[in-house]
Structure 1
Amino acid sequence: MKKFLAALPIVFAVSAVQAADIVDTAKSAGSFNTLVTAVQAAGLVDTLKGPGPYTVFAPTDAAFAKIPKAKLDALLKDKAALTKVLTYHVVPGKVMAADVKPGMVKTVEGSSFTVKTSGGKVMVDKATVTKTDIAADNGVIHVIDTVIMPK
């Protein structure tokens, strides 16, 4: 009985730990600082912390660095344009890499992007998917190497 009671606090501590939502998962990865800043500037934090599920094609800091600084700064200050760009990276539902099929995919922004395979790599518009299936408790993140822009 003493052993059982001694183990009880450990069981409660472990069960209190939860998986992180999409925003917290992106923050803890350390390579999405610009994306997290943009999500905050666009006022989308609560949405991406919500129940979802969402699939986010997340550009890395290096992907954002490909955008000329003046253009990126202007985008970060234009909430409507920023929201349009960010929601273009989000697909409703939880789509794991094994379930991704080539073709047009409707985004939360409202328009669609093209998914295709080329040389064994998955492309989203002109971005290459570099890492897949980063699980969050309200969806999944797939890493891309370029910021994609709605038409």
Structure 2
Amino acid sequence: MKKSILTLLSFLFISASVFAQNTVMVGGEAMYPSRTIVENAVNSEAHTTLVAAVKAADLVETLSSDGPFTVFAPTNDAFENLPEGTVQTLLKPENKDQLTGVLTYHVVAGKLDAKAIQKAIKKGKGTATFTTVNGARLMATMNGMSNVVLKDENGNTANITTYDVYQSNGVIHVIDAVVLPK
């Protein structure tokens, strides 16, 4: 009996340790590395605006594909900080191409975790330039020892607030502002 209880406790401890190492909490929900970007994002209360925009732009299938993708995911607060009416205008069917351009500006092909981004910044002598899925450039710099700052083509910045949310088809980095292409 003692042995089976110890075995069970060991299993639970190991399971909890593996869960803690492989999942990150975003928007109050666990993000599972075995799920796709879309499967995880729909569960994040902090990303409901982003999810609605991805659906309106018909990007669900793309972001559910094998990838891999690196997604810089703005929070609801980031969208709310855009000028009044911007989100509502972008979500209109007649603005689908513009919405798609904004959303794909937040995606880079490949799986770039924080170490890869920081390495690219170091290699670029302080600035890394990434070509986004929409073809425009997004720059990354360091602010201090570990904070990556993204800079869009308009000079606006966004901080990565949560790094390395691994997905089955890439990685998400949560950002505090929406970056916009020219």
Structure 1 residue 18, shift from structure 2 partner:
8.1
Q: Unpaired runs of 5+ in structure 1? A: 1-16
TM-score (norm 1): 0.85
The question of whether the paired residues in 1 share the 8 Å contact of 2:33 and 2:166 is answered with no
1:128 aligns with 2:143: no
Report the number of matched residues: 135
Residue of structure 1 equivalent to 2:26: none
Amino acid at match of 2:111: K
Residue of structure 1 equivalent to 2:129: 104
TM-score (norm 2): 0.71
Distance 2:33 2:170 in 1: 14
Distance 1:69 1:22 in 2: 28
- Residue-by-residue CA offset, 1:55-104 (whole Å, 9 max, x unaligned): 00000111011013312111111100000000000000111111102211
Residue of structure 1 equivalent to 2:75: 60
Distance 2:114 2:180 in 1: 21
* Segments ≥4 residues shifted beyond 4 Å: none
- SS for the counterpart of 1:58 is strand
Distance 1:135 1:119 in 2: 24
Q: Unpaired runs of 5+ in structure 2? A: 1-31, 122-127, 152-156
1:83 equivalent among 100, 104, 108 = 100
Distance 1:18 1:147 in 2: 24
The question of whether the paired residues in 1 share the 8 Å contact of 2:72 and 2:175 is answered with yes
Residue of structure 2 equivalent to 1:32: 47
Give me the CA root mean square deviation: 1.4
- SS for the counterpart of 1:32 is helix
Residue of structure 2 equivalent to 1:21: 36
Distance 1:113 1:27 in 2: 25
- SS for the counterpart of 1:52 is coil
Residue of structure 2 equivalent to 1:9: none
